Amino acid sequence: MNMNITSDGVDISRHSSEHERKVLALESLSKLASQFARDPDLQKLIDSLALTIAGQFGVTSTLIAIRTNESESFGLLKAATGKFRNLSEGFEPFNLILNMPTLMTDPGPFRMGDADFPFGKESALYIEMERMEARLFAPMVVDRRNIGLILLGPRIGKVDYKDSEVMLLRDLVTTITPLIANSLLYAEMSQLKTRYLSIIDSVPQAMFVFDSREILRTANKTAVDLIASLGGTMYDETPVGLAMETIFPEANFPDWVERLRSAGGENDDKLHTTVIIRSDDHERIFNVRASTFISQPGADSEKILTLQDITDQKENERRMFEQEKFAEQGMMASAIAHELNNFLGVIQGGTELALLNMERGRPEKAAATMQKLMDNIGAMQRFTAGLTDFARVNVQMVPGNINDVVTDVLSFVVSQKRFSRISVRTQLTRQLPDIVMDRDQIAQVVINILNNAADAIAETGRSDGIIIVGTTFDQGSIGLTISDNGKGMKPEVRDRIFKTHLTTKPKGHGYGLVNCGKIIERHGASVEITSQIGFGTTFALKFPTDKPPSW
C-alpha cells in the first residue's frame, strides 16, 4: 500500500477533505514562520520549504526558485533536492514560465499531460520539462506578480499525483507565498536599513534623531564618537534608547537640552547656532542645527540634531583674518609711499627749477618757485594729517580753477627726469568757471595720470613722446583730458584700471590710480578712457559745475 507521509509521520492520504488539507498547510506554514522569526534568513526558509514539500509529497527531486527583484531573470535564491540540484540559477525555461501571462490568472498547480497544462506537448518548454522528469509545477503569484516557482519530480514508486494532492499543493503554495513575499520585502527593508545606516555613518556631521519622548532612536558613528570625546554618558554598546538628558548631561552640555527643546515650538521649529564647549585644556566650537520632522502622516514628530565641529575652520578663518589685516596694512603702506613719492617728485623738480633760476640770475622766478614748493609741502602735510582718519580723507573743499591746478602741476613735473624726452603740451580753454574742489587731491589725480603717461611712452622706447593736457567747458561741466602716444592698454586693463589694484608695470602696484578713482568719484566727476594698443591713451574727466561733491 502506498502512503503519503509528512515529516511528522502523518498519512495525508487519510486527510482528503479540504479542511484537513488546509490544516496541514497551515501547520507547515506555522513551523516555517516560526523558524524565520527566530532566524530571518530567506535562503534557510527556502531550504526548509523544499525539504518540507519533498517529505509531504514523497518525492526525491524538488526545486524552489525565488526571483528576488523585478527583472526577468532569477535572483540567487534557489533550493533543490535530487536531480534538480544540477539546474543552473538562470535556467531559461523557468524564466519563460515565470513570465507567462496566463499563469497570473490561473496559477495552477499543473500536472504534466493534463488538459489544462499551460503549454502544448509540442512546445520546447514541455519537451524540456519531460527531459527533466518534471511532473508537477506551481507558480508563486502575489498581486498578479510571479515571484517564484515550485517544481516537483516523480513521486517515490512512480505513483501519479492525485487530484487531492494537487489541491494540497495549491493550498500549501497559496499559504506559503505571502510569507515568501513578506520575507522578500523584509530582506529588502533590511538592505535599505543597512544602506541607510551606512550612508549616515559616512556623514561627517554628528547626527542624532530623538522621538517625541526625547528618546534617542538613531545616532551615526560620528555622533557616538563625539559623545565619548566630550566626556558624555558612558554606555556599553550604543546610546540608542537613552534619554536626551542622559546623552547631553547638564554638567558637560549646559542648557543644551532646553535649547534643543525650544526647536519645535509653535513659533520656531528650527535651531541654528554656534556653541563652544570648554574642557580642561582646550575648547571646541560646534555648528548646531536642530529641527523637527514628521516621517509619515499621523506619526509623532521627531527631532533631528546635527553637530559639526568647526574648531579648525574657525582657527583657519582667524588666521586668514590676521593675514588679510597684515596684507591690508601692507597695501596701505604702499599706497602712502606711492603718494609721498609723487609729492617728493614734485618737490625735487621744483628745487631743480629754483636752482636753475638762481644760477641764471632770476631770483624773482626762483622765489616764485620756492613759494610753490612751500604750497606743495603744505599739501603733503595735509595728506599725512589725513592718514589719522582711515574712513575719510582730510579735504579742503574750496572754489578753484582747474587750469590753475594743471599749470602748477606741469611747472614742476616737466623738469623731472622721466619727462626729459617727452613734449608736454597744453590746450587749455580760457575763462573756465570755478568748481568746488580739493585742489591738492585734483593735483594728485593729474600727477598720477601724467606719471603713468610718461611711463607708457618710455615703455615704447620712442623719442617723439607727446603728452597733451587740455580743458573744456560745455553744458554745465568742465572737461579735463590727458592724452599720450604711449603703448596703449588692452580693454580688460582699461575697464578695471580705477577699480582694482591693477598695474602693468614690473615694479608697480596700482594703488595710485585706485586712489584717483576714489577722488574722482567723491568730486562727483566721471572718467572715460579710450586707448589703442601702439597708439596711446586718453583720460577724459568731467567735473559738474552745478553739483557739490559728496563726502
**Tens digits of residue pLDDT in 244-298:** 888 888 877 777 788 777 665 544 456 677 777 776 667 788 888 888 777 667 7
Instruction: Evaluate whether residue 241 is within a structural domain.
Output: yes
Summarize the confidence of residues 366-390 as an average pLDDT. 69
pLDDT over 60 (residue 70) = no
Residues 360 and 419 placed together within one structural domain of the fold? yes
Residues 496 and 395 placed together within one structural domain of the fold? yes
Residues 355 and 484 placed together within one structural domain of the fold? yes
Which of 133, 158, 190 is the endpoint of a domain? Answer: 190
Instruction: Evaluate whether residue 342 is within a structural domain.
Output: yes
109-149 pLDDT tens trace: 888 888 777 777 888 778 888 888 888 888 888 877 778 88
**Model pTM?**
0.42
Residues 354 and 271 placed together within one structural domain of the fold? no
Instruction: Evaluate whether residue 296 is within a structural domain.
Output: yes
User: The domain that contains 32 carries what CATH number?
Assistant: 3.30.450.40
**What residue ranges in 185-340 does DSSP mark as E strands?**
206-210, 216-219, 270-278, 283-293, 302-309
Lowest mean pLDDT among 68-82, 274-288, 459-473: 68-82
pLDDT averaged over the chain?
77
State how far the Cα of 360 lies from the Cα of 84, in Å rounded to an integer.
125
The pLDDT of residue 434 is: 92
Cα radius of gyration rounded to whole Å, the chain:
47
The helix/strand/coil state of 248 is: coil
Confidence of residue 301 (pLDDT cuts 50, 70, 90): confident
pLDDT over 90 (residue 480) = yes
In this structure, what C-alpha cell is assigned to residue 190?
A: 533590511
State how far the Cα of 58 lies from the Cα of 71, in Å rounded to an integer.
33
The pLDDT of residue 426 is: 93
User: The domain that contains 373 carries what CATH number?
Assistant: 3.30.565.10
pLDDT over 90 (residue 220) = no
Listed ranges 137-141, 223-227, 360-364, 539-543; the one with the highest mean pLDDT: 539-543
pLDDT over 80 (residue 7) = no
Contact, 48 vs 42, CB < 8 A? Answer: no
Is 343 or 400 the better-scoring residue by pLDDT? 400
Is 282 or 462 the better-scoring residue by pLDDT? 462
Instruction: Evaluate whether residue 73 is within a structural domain.
Output: yes
Confidence of residue 393 (pLDDT cuts 50, 70, 90): very low
Instruction: Evaluate whether residue 223 is within a structural domain.
Output: yes
Residues 388 and 515 placed together within one structural domain of the fold? yes
Which of 309, 330, 361 is the endpoint of a domain? Answer: 309
The pLDDT of residue 332 is: 61
Summarize the confidence of residues 378-392 as an average pLDDT. 58
Confidence of residue 525 (pLDDT cuts 50, 70, 90): very high
The pLDDT of residue 427 is: 94
Task: List, in order, residues 6 or more apart from 253 with CB less than 8 Å away.
Answer: 230, 232, 277
The helix/strand/coil state of 215 is: strand
Contact, 439 vs 400, CB < 8 A? Answer: yes
**What percentage of the chain carries pLDDT values higher than 70?**
76
Residues 135 and 274 placed together within one structural domain of the fold? no
Residues 380 and 494 placed together within one structural domain of the fold? yes
Instruction: Give the single-character DSSP code of 134.
Output: -
Task: List, in order, residues 6 or more apart from 152 with CB less than 8 Å away.
Answer: 53, 57, 59, 61, 62, 134, 135, 136, 137, 161, 169
Is 59 or 280 the better-scoring residue by pLDDT? 59
Residues 330 and 468 placed together within one structural domain of the fold? yes
Summarize the confidence of residues 510-535 as an average pLDDT. 83
Instruction: Evaluate whether residue 16 is within a structural domain.
Output: yes
Is 314 or 328 the better-scoring residue by pLDDT? 314
Instruction: Evaluate whether residue 86 is within a structural domain.
Output: yes
How many structural domains are present in the chain? 3
42-55 pLDDT tens trace: 888 888 888 888 88
Residues 345 and 227 placed together within one structural domain of the fold? no
User: The domain that contains 284 carries what CATH number?
Assistant: 3.30.450.20
Residues 208 and 342 placed together within one structural domain of the fold? no
Residues 404 and 360 placed together within one structural domain of the fold? yes
Instruction: Evaluate whether residue 470 is within a structural domain.
Output: yes
Neighbours of 343 (CB within 10 A): 20
The pLDDT of residue 549 is: 60
Torsion over CA: 523, 524, 528, 529 (sign): positive
Lowest mean pLDDT among 282-286, 304-308, 319-323, 447-451: 319-323
Residues 539 and 422 placed together within one structural domain of the fold? yes
The pLDDT of residue 383 is: 66
Summarize the confidence of residues 3-24 as an average pLDDT. 51
pLDDT over 70 (residue 454) = yes
422-450 pLDDT tens trace: 999 999 998 899 999 988 889 889 988 99
Which of 283, 309, 335 is the endpoint of a domain? Answer: 309
State how far the Cα of 379 lies from the Cα of 400, in Å rounded to an integer.
15
| Residue 538: domain span | 319-544
